[in-house]
Structure 1
């Protein structure tokens, strides 16, 4: 006859399934941990690629023909003459700026293409191919440097940033899309001209 009081003791004393039970408890945690490490690594890699691409793009934009009309930044009141120092920005309260690209007026298509693919030099997409022209925003802002009538354009602060660009991850972006921070990169412009054989 089976003693019902001994069954729980025998069940508790049985050790043949411990390893499987522990594995079933720990395995999901390990999978989540490994998945988190992979996703975080991909996220940091793409963010770093984006920052490096923006640095290259800002450098290229600082020595290239502007991607939009900047005439609003080169008009001064009648008291400022040719060759005079550029008035300090913000004489009206804030520095004037002009933007094009994502979230602003469209940029010049050819100039943006040169910025993206480099046209013989390193471009934004050479470093971060997942950045599209629709994700780039370029801003030209008064810097208060240079003089009125400077050849090849005024000295401006050129800022590049990304907009509406999501991380391309393995799993998380399908569940909850996460955008790459704008991370603006600013640089002081030099000669705002591509020249293309016209410079002497």
Structure 2
């Protein structure tokens, strides 16, 4: 009888309920908080990548061509003077440095001559991750003194988000940053050839 009374007293005692609820809910709250922090950090990394691509596209628009097969002066000299250069032809540098002038690409990615490069805005970007495409867009004419005008598209490949908390807990270490191509029209492609 004494045992029955003490057992009922134990079942009716609510002195540790709030501690138990706290211990159950704390990991869930901490995981949700970590998810918010990681999402914000991932958005920061994505924005860093986009800004680096915009800066790199601007550098590529005023630098020597990065794609070895793209020669704007040869293209502008190939037709009848004064007629429009047709659209459509594209010249690619990358992925993994295929068809690239590595010196010109390193100048854009790494920076040179005291000027920053894409890597100064996002340290994860390396020359082998950058794909540069020159595409003739129908602008310009044969015989143009500065050569053919092209549209440059820069994008990145194989760069993963750095997720230190959720990456370790949930195995989310290999989420790739979207390519998010940035497009810009070339200018004279000589202004910044030494920078």
Tell me the TM-score normalized by structure 1.
Answer: 0.84
Residue in 2 aligned with 1:113?
106
Matched residue SS, 1:59: helix
CA distance 1:7–1:191, change in 2 (3 Å) = same
Give the superposed CA RMSD. Answer: 2.3
For residue 177 of structure 2, the aligned residue among 153, 170, 180 is 180
The alignment of Structure 1 onto Structure 2 pairs a total of residues equal to: 188
CA distance 1:196–1:27, change in 2 (3 Å) = closer
CA contact (8 A) 1:73 1:96 kept: no
- In 1, the alpha carbon distance for the partners of 2:71 and 2:109 equals 24
Q: How far is the alpha carbon of 1:22 from its aligned partner?
A: 0.8
CA contact (8 A) 1:73 1:141 kept: no
- In 1, the alpha carbon distance for the partners of 2:145 and 2:115 equals 24
CA distance 1:25–1:164, change in 2 (3 Å) = same
Residue in 1 aligned with 2:20?
21
- In 1, the alpha carbon distance for the partners of 2:126 and 2:164 equals 20
- In 1, the alpha carbon distance for the partners of 2:119 and 2:148 equals 28
Residue in 2 aligned with 1:44?
43
- In 2, the alpha carbon distance for the partners of 1:34 and 1:101 equals 39
Q: How far is the alpha carbon of 1:134 from its aligned partner?
A: 1.2
CA contact (8 A) 2:72 2:148 kept: no
For residue 97 of structure 1, the aligned residue among 63, 86, 90 is 90
Tell me the TM-score normalized by structure 2.
Answer: 0.86
Matched residue SS, 2:105: helix
Unaligned runs of 5+ in 1: 90-94
Q: How far is the alpha carbon of 1:138 from its aligned partner?
A: 0.2
- In 2, the alpha carbon distance for the partners of 1:104 and 1:32 equals 40
